[in-house]
Amino acid sequence: MAGKWKGKKIAVLMGGVSKEREISLRTGNAISEGLRRRGYDVVAIDVQGGDALVAALQDARPDAAVIALHGKFGEDGCVQGFLEMMRIPYTGGGVLASSVGMDKIVCKRLAEELGIPCPRDAVFDASKNSADGFVRELQMKMPVIVKPSREGSTINMTIVKEPSELAPALKTAAQSDNKILVEQYLPGREITVGIINGQTLPPLEIAPKSGFYDYKSKYTKGATEYIVPARIGAGMAEKLQRWTHKIYSAIDCDGTSRADFIVPSDDEAYFLEINTIPGMTELSLVPKAAAHIGITFDEICERLLDGAKLKVN
């Protein structure tokens, strides 16, 4: 029901303690302003730890919470479970959707079970195995992408072009997570598909000028071109939208999400990951795609809030 939280107090949780803190603050502030423009009573809460969050929520006594946190302890199910225990309705996916969506390895295995192609990969556990032994035994053609399984914004991710670069890349990734995904690098168009409360948006093409959509390309003005609708055929666009909805539903997600794909050719595509709390400013990818079909940023914020609920009865 549209506007069901009008007249209620809404807490927007932002900031957090992950390496994506600054991005989360941008998202949270943008959502807060969007909801205020729609007439909502919003209190912004900068989450700086568990004890501080308890105190802030007890002080604010919100009727619902919008989660605008990115990365660990915000997007991975921790805060979702905490809000369930406090019986505060919240936006986005629950504990399961958040934890599965955050773990690239687990989510890829689920996608494969659903019949959705994924790039070939190998998994390295830095807490159990030797990097030297892993490098010797790896049977994968270069280049590969080495990335932490549970991290966002391409933090501590490396493109490895030579075998000698692999061990240092594993060490870099291990700064974020002991679970490390080594994935075959596939050149092609980078496509992302947003979804809002089950409604898939037009595929958007990401065209970084550097050739790789890394942290700098994401957050440096003018470093990347965003094209919507993406320069792919209608059949491919429909397929990526269908796959996005399939994964979104399989992990029991809610609210706004964004699935990323690589499209090497007109008839070939591979799933990379799903982001269950994507960046949400007026310049972010989901709002760009939504604007193409006439959905304003403020409307996205209200739709997100409309879906706030408890996932455990």
Residue pointed to by tokens 């556990």: 125
CATH number of the domain residue 88 falls in: 3.40.50.20
Query: Which residues lie closer than 8 Å to 129 by C-beta, 6 or more apart?
Result: none
226 is annotated as an active-site residue:
no
Q: Is residue 180 located within the same domain as residue 191?
A: no
Q: Residue 230 is encoded by which pair of tokens?
A: 């993406």
Strand order of the β-sheet with 158-160 is: 121-125, 179-184, 144-148, 158-160
Q: Is residue 38 located within the same domain as residue 177?
A: no
Q: How many whole angstroms separate alpha carbon 80 and alpha carbon 250?
A: 18
Q: Is residue 282 located within the same domain as residue 177?
A: no
Determine which one of 16, 273, 302, 307 is catalytic.
Answer: 273
Q: How many domains is the chain built from?
A: 3
Determine which one of 275, 284, 302, 303 is catalytic.
Answer: 275
Determine which one of 15, 16, 18, 20 is catalytic.
Answer: 20
CATH number of the domain residue 132 falls in: 3.30.1490.20
Q: Residue 217 is encoded by which pair of tokens?
A: 């390309």
**Radius of gyration (C-alpha) of the chain in whole angstroms:** 19
Residue 238 resides in a domain: yes
Q: Tens digits of per-residue pLDDT, 155-181?
A: 999 999 999 999 999 999 999 999 999
Q: Is residue 112 located within the same domain as residue 218?
A: yes
Give the DSSP letter of residue 220: S
Q: Is residue 84 located within the same domain as residue 141?
A: no
Q: Tens digits of per-residue pLDDT, 102-123?
A: 999 999 999 999 999 999 999 9
Q: Where are the beta strands (DSSP E) in 16-156?
A: 41-47, 64-67, 121-125, 144-148
Q: Is residue 158 located within the same domain as residue 280?
A: no
For residue 96, CA distances in Å to 67, 83, 107, 174, 287 come to: 15, 14, 11, 24, 25
Determine which one of 103, 151, 183, 260 is catalytic.
Answer: 260
For residue 307, CA distances in Å to 99, 255, 290 come to: 19, 6, 17
275 is annotated as an active-site residue:
yes
Q: Residue 197 is encoded by which pair of tokens?
A: 């409360």
pLDDT at 208: 84
Determine which one of 109, 219, 226, 299 is catalytic.
Answer: 219
Residue 259: enclosing H or E segment and its boundaries? strand 256-265
Q: Residue 108 is encoded by which pair of tokens?
A: 């890829």
217 is annotated as an active-site residue:
no
Residue 313 resides in a domain: no
Q: Is the pLDDT of residue 27 over 70?
A: yes
Residue 306 resides in a domain: no
pLDDT at 49: 82
What domain range is 274 assigned to?
100-117+187-301
3-state secondary structure of 110: helix
Q: Is residue 207 located within the same domain as residue 279?
A: yes
Q: Is residue 71 located within the same domain as residue 142?
A: no
Determine which one of 92, 194, 279, 307 is catalytic.
Answer: 279
Q: Is residue 276 located within the same domain as residue 199?
A: yes
Residue 37 resides in a domain: yes
258 is annotated as an active-site residue:
yes
Query: Which residues lie closer than 8 Å to 15 by C-beta, 6 or more apart?
Result: 21, 24, 25, 28, 46, 47, 48, 69
Determine which one of 21, 258, 270, 303 is catalytic.
Answer: 258
Model confidence, pTM: 0.93
Q: Is residue 141 located within the same domain as residue 267?
A: no
Q: Is residue 229 located within the same domain as residue 106?
A: yes
CATH number of the domain residue 235 falls in: 3.30.470.20
254 is annotated as an active-site residue:
no
